[in-house]
Structure 1
């Protein structure tokens, strides 16, 4: 298995969990971002730095990810594309996306975008909690076993 991370929006605490898990399980991990990230000194952990621009990192991930590989992202459209390629997708909150629920998530995302575009304040996601971090770590461990 290979772990791909949509790293531009990935919380630092989640990146740290990923680094430890990759080293512990000897699983290759690639961070994809449009800026340089501090990485641990490990041959298993690499970064692909892409130019700044709309969906550039997402497009890079979709072009490289293979069936059975793991993607970490909160980006619903990216998750849908990775699922369509046969990848396993996990959010930084530990939610595992699947083909049965991704269409509903895309519909809700589009609806919320429409509300925001019309001037309605919808708020953002809650702050990543300790419970979210634990859920993520537990799900990641299950997937890496």
Structure 2
């Protein structure tokens, strides 16, 4: 099995350097996709993809490129959902690992938050990004990389059908 590819949704990713350290330790190829960030310095071994300006252009590029087992670092919940649908993994910069058990609730919560911003004229509170967030991210990404490198889990054994004729 080949190493998973790490995609970083890169315009405002606060954990780019941490993602690079984990990827380098495991020998993973990395692509940072952004529609800005031309001035951000990347290691020579990291591929940079600059996409056209516009809503969701970087997200569309990542969603079209990700393959089963690949990993995406993103705070964008709809992009995380698209990565999961493609068989990939998704980790937020705050260390949240998105999966099929929590992405639906996250999408619903995002809609509620959008509605609340409309009702309150955009007055919301955001907590600052902390060292704890970085630590949780490093742990979550490491765990996700190890899971991805093991490959897909085998299907569960078939349950006997006691009720068939």
Question: Could you tell me the TM-score, scaled by structure 1's length?
Answer: 0.91
Where in structure 1 are there 5+ consecutive unaligned residues? none
Based on CA coordinates, which of the two structures has the bigger radius of gyration?
Answer: 2
Structure 2 contact 71–145 (Cα < 8 Å) conserved: no
Asked if 1:134 is matched to 2:130, the reply is no
Equivalenced residue count is 140
Structure 2 Cα separation of the partners of residues 77 and 143 of structure 1 = 19
2:106 matched to which residue of 1? Answer: 105
* C-alpha deviation, 1:100, in angstroms: 1.4
Asked if 1:8 is matched to 2:11, the reply is yes
* C-alpha deviation, 1:120, in angstroms: 5.6
Matches within 5 A, 1:1-145: 1-11=4-14, 14-35=15-36, 36=38, 37-42=40-45, 45-118=46-119, 119=121, 121-124=123-126, 126-145=127-146
Structure 2 Cα separation of the partners of residues 53 and 130 of structure 1 = 31
Structure 1 Cα separation of the partners of residues 27 and 101 of structure 2 = 31
Question: Could you tell me the TM-score, scaled by structure 2's length?
Answer: 0.80
Q: Deviations over 1:23-81 (max 9, x none)?
A: 22211010000122311122xx1111101100000000001001110000010111111
Question: Which consecutive aligned stretches of 4+ in structure 1 deviate over 4 angstroms post-superposition?
Answer: none
